[in-house]
């Protein structure tokens, strides 16, 4: 038994893939075109701002080797996202159009997912997998978010596609394996070892099921190390030579101690386990409804006697399970870390659709879907009646006035979609089921994106920078009350176009590569207060991670409140210019 058989070849009677390349590319172009509408809305959120600012400083310095943020060496992240963003900035200017980077990665992910679905289950399943991925909430949001996670997801999806192609072929295997290792190398340049681990776990589980080491040898691990080293090592070695302390921080702090939650510099706060799983479920809406219908087939796929499709389903469940279990074990998980599971979930949804169409999904499957449709319709109707009261439960939501207007269309869309889903289940019509989910998600995705724009003033630095630019002299020093996650200053520096002074956070331990700079990257609190009371013109932007309902105690008195955006207070002791 070869490795290809362990994954699962499509049955021989299925036609060779012919139409899918055109359909998948067309779907990717259509989805990307729709997602590119108003790509500049909303302004960069906090997490996006740091990538935009590092790329901006690369352009200003003319140094694409060494990342800096707010004038300070920033080696916490590998460089690929910075490089690609800087390329877009160089061509299109310093705009939110840099989201073209994740958008192109999303198109690549979509094509790879559809092609992988065709190889595992057949051409029709590949098309449905593409539709499912393109209309998943998480995919829609991440395709318009400037950070490395969609690059990583593209690396994972393409790597699995190349591996699957290599294991199914006699000739050309080495070429496809080289491609797999090359895209994993690019993934490492995007987000460290994450894509290697995400891809390595399922491949290891599938490969090691075969007795002996022949299957491992077929993967050419020596070749893989050489290909990945050629891509990954040049930048890492150059930075390590130029900046002592980088290797320890990057390998030990940013990977090992980060995973264990024992990183000396606690510059991020992980999400609680339930919040992480809840976000993963939300991002997989609505196609997650179909995934449990493949659970029985996955269990059968663990057997050596399993059929090809069953082995393929087992592989996809190990893809999802490996990511979710691994991230559940680290306290440093963040809600968007589950993004690389979306292609696998779309493929499992396509397999569930195929089994429903063939009548092999079990006698309770349609009953489950009828219940799910009725439940969604009920939630939508409850939202129509009681939705407005939900906003008051989170104090900051009340500051986004536009959200209330979106509640009714969102609830109605959910109610109608749930009702149509129940009707498709009653009629046992698999294609209608896919159509209902796809059509329902188009307006829901638009509503979610509009909501994201409405809350932007609470999570973006652009309005803060605009107020500072309009209300105080350009010579006024801007001070940021930095949390330990000092990288949050990136968006403020980007939209201000100037160096921001960081107020020293308590208990901060600098990365080892900044040891030579000591405390020079921060302004001491006592010195800040001395300058403020002495009348040195200053603007203080408060820590956005702290809730303060009043500005008292944020800065020494006297001060003027220039603006408040959510938990971001903007205070000054300088003369205030008239608005406009």
Q: What is the tens place of the pLDDT at every residue in 490-548? A: 999 999 999 999 998 887 888 888 877 655 789 999 999 999 999 999 999 999 999 89
What does the pLDDT read at residue 385? Answer: 80
pLDDT exceeds 50 at position 143: yes
**Neighbouring C-alpha atoms within 13 Å toward the C-beta of 206:** 34
What does the pLDDT read at residue 14? Answer: 46
Strands 72-73 and 68-69: antiparallel
pLDDT exceeds 60 at position 119: yes
Which string of DSSP letters, residue by residue, matches 229-258? HHHHHHHHHHHHHHSTTHHIIIIIIIIIIH
Confidence class for position 579, pLDDT limits 50, 70, 90: confident
CA distances from 287 to 123, 187, 247, 532 (A): 19, 26, 41, 55
CA distances from 347 to 31, 209, 399 (A): 17, 22, 39
Rg of the chain over all Cα atoms, to the nearest angstrom: 25
Strands 538-541 and 477-481: parallel
Confidence class for position 85, pLDDT limits 50, 70, 90: very high
| Residue 97, both tokens | 């159009």
Confidence class for position 362, pLDDT limits 50, 70, 90: confident
Confidence class for position 270, pLDDT limits 50, 70, 90: confident
Which range has the worst mean pLDDT, 11-15, 390-394, 446-450? 11-15
> CB neighbours of 189 closer than 8 A, spacing ≥ 6?
78, 79, 80, 231, 232, 235
Q: What percent of the chain has pLDDT over 90?
A: 73
| Residue 78, both tokens | 């590998």
Task: Please count the other Cβ atoms lying within 10 Å of the Cβ belonging to residue 121.
Answer: 27
What does the pLDDT read at residue 514? Answer: 86
Q: Where are the alpha helices (DSSP H) in 500-558?
A: 525-534
* Cα–Cα nearest to 369, from 438, 289, 277, 294: 289
547 three-state secondary structure: coil
Q: How far apart are CA 382 and CA 376, in angstroms?
A: 10
Are the C-beta atoms of residues 177 and 162 closer than 8 Å to each other? yes
The mean per-residue pLDDT over the stretch 320-331 comes to: 93
pLDDT exceeds 50 at position 351: yes
pLDDT exceeds 60 at position 4: no
Instruction: Give the best-scoring range by mean pLDDT among 141-145, 252-256, 270-274, 515-519.
Output: 141-145
CA distances from 336 to 327, 525, 551 (A): 11, 34, 32
CA distances from 302 to 182, 206, 327, 355, 485 (A): 29, 9, 23, 18, 43
Element (H, E) at 411: helix 403-427
* Cα–Cα nearest to 137, from 445, 347, 411: 445
What does the pLDDT read at residue 539? Answer: 97
Q: Which residue has the higher pLDDT, 195 or 404?
A: 195
Q: How far apart are CA 98 and CA 293, in angstroms?
A: 39
Place of tokens 């999802």: 320
Confidence class for position 266, pLDDT limits 50, 70, 90: low
Q: How far apart are CA 568 and CA 475, in angstroms?
A: 22
The mean per-residue pLDDT over the stretch 280-307 comes to: 92
The total number of residues written for the chain in this structure: 580
* Cα–Cα nearest to 414, from 382, 388, 390, 392: 382
The mean per-residue pLDDT over the stretch 325-353 comes to: 94
Q: How far apart are CA 228 and CA 155, in angstroms?
A: 13
Are the C-beta atoms of residues 330 and 261 closer than 8 Å to each other? yes
C-alpha 326 chain-centroid distance: 17
pTM of the predicted protein model: 0.93
Q: How far apart are CA 434 and CA 419, in angstroms?
A: 14
What does the pLDDT read at residue 350? Answer: 97
Confidence class for position 17, pLDDT limits 50, 70, 90: very low
| Residue 2, both tokens | 């070869």
What does the pLDDT read at residue 1? Answer: 44
Task: Please count the other Cβ atoms lying within 10 Å of the Cβ belonging to residue 466.
Answer: 14
Confidence class for position 398, pLDDT limits 50, 70, 90: low
What does the pLDDT read at residue 518? Answer: 57
| Residue 130, both tokens | 């593409």
Are the C-beta atoms of residues 156 and 195 closer than 8 Å to each other? yes
Q: How far apart are CA 371 and CA 364, in angstroms?
A: 11
Q: Which residue has the higher pLDDT, 211 or 284?
A: 284
Write the pLDDT tens digit of every residue in 57-66: 999 999 999 9
555 three-state secondary structure: strand
What does the pLDDT read at residue 407? Answer: 87
> CB neighbours of 24 closer than 8 A, spacing ≥ 6?
110, 111, 114, 115, 126, 127, 130
The mean per-residue pLDDT over the stretch 396-411 comes to: 80
Rounded to 5 degrees, what are φ and ψ at 571?
-120, 155
Q: At what angle do helices 342-358 and 430-454 cross, to 10 degrees?
A: 150
DSSP assigned state of 338: G
Taking all residues of the chain, what is their mean pLDDT, rounded to a whole number? 90
What does the pLDDT read at residue 357? Answer: 94
What does the pLDDT read at residue 206? Answer: 84
The mean per-residue pLDDT over the stretch 118-137 comes to: 95
Q: At what angle do helices 173-191 and 80-92 cross, to 10 degrees?
A: 80
pLDDT exceeds 70 at position 418: yes
Q: How far apart are CA 538 and CA 531, in angstroms?
A: 8
DSSP lists the bridge partners of residue 572 as 539, 560
Element (H, E) at 572: strand 568-572
């Amino acid at each position: 038994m070869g490795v290809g058989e362990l994954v699962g070849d499509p049955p021989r009677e299925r036609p060779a893939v012919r139409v899918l390349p055109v359909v998948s590319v067309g779907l990717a172009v259509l989805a990307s075109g729709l997602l590119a509408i108003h790509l500049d809305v909303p302004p960069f959120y906090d997490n996006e701002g740091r990538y935009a600012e590092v790329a901006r400083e690369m352009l200003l310095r003319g140094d694409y080797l060494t990342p800096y943020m707010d004038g300070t060496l920033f080696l916490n992240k590998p460089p690929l996202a910075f490089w690609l963003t800087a390329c877009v900035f160089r061509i299109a200017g310093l705009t939110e159009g840099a989201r073209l980077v994740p958008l192109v990665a999303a198109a690549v992910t979509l094509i790879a997912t559809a092609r992988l679905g065709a190889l595992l289950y057949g051409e029709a399943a590949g098309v449905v997998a593409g539709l499912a991925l393109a209309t998943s909430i998480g995919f829609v949001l991440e395709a318009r978010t400037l950070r490395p996670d969609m690059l990583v997801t593209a690396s994972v999806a393409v790597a699995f596609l190349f591996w699957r192609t290599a294991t199914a072929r006699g000739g050309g295997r080495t070429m496809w394996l080289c491609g797999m290792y090359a895209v994993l190398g690019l993934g490492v340049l995007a987000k460290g070892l994450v894509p290697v681990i995400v891809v390595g776990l399922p491949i290891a589980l599938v490969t090691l099921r075969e007795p002996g080491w022949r299957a491992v040898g077929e993967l050419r691990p020596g070749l893989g190390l050489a290909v990945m080293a050629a891509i990954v090592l040049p930048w890492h070695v150059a930075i390590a030579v130029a900046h002592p302390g980088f290797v320890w921080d990057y390998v030990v702090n940013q990977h090992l101690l980060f995973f264990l939650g024992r990183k000396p510099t606690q510059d991020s706060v992980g999400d609680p386990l339930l919040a992480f799983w809840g976000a993963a479920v939300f991002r997989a809406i609505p196609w997650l409804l179909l995934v449990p219908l493949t659970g029985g087939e996955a269990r059968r796929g663990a057997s050596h006697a399993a059929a090809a499709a069953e082995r393929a389903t087992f592989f996809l469940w190990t893809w999802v399970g490996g990511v979710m279990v691994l991230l559940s074990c680290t306290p440093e998980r963040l809600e968007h870390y589950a993004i690389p599971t979306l292609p696998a979930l779309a493929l499992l949804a396509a397999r569930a659709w195929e089994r429903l169409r063939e009548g092999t999904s079990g006698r309770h499957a349609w009953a489950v879907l009828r219940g799910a449709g009725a439940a969604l319709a009920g939630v939508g109707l409850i939202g129509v009646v009681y939705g407005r009261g939900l906003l008051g439960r989170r104090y900051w939501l009340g500051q986004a006035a536009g959200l209330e207007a979106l509640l009714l269309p969102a609830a109605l869309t959910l109610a109608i979609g749930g009702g149509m889903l129940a009707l498709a289940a009653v009629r046992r019509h698999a294609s209608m089921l896919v159509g209902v989910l796809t059509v329902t998600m188009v307006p829901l995705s638009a509503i979610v994106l509009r909501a994201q724009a409405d809350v932007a003033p609470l999570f973006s630095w652009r309005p803060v920078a605009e107020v500072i630019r309009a209300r105080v002299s350009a010579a006024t020093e801007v001070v940021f009350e930095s949390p330990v996650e000092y990288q949050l200053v990136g968006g403020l520096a980007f939209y201000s176009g100037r160096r921001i002074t960081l107020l020293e956070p308590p208990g901060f331990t600098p990365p080892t590569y900044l040891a030579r700079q000591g405390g020079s990257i921060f302004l001491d609190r006592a010195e800040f207060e001395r300058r403020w009371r002495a009348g040195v013109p200053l603007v203080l932007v408060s820590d956005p991670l702290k809730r303060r309902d009043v500005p008292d105690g944020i800065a020494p008195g006297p001060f003027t409140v220039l603006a408040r955006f959510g938990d971001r207070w903007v205070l000054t002791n300088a003369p205030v210019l008239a608005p406009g």
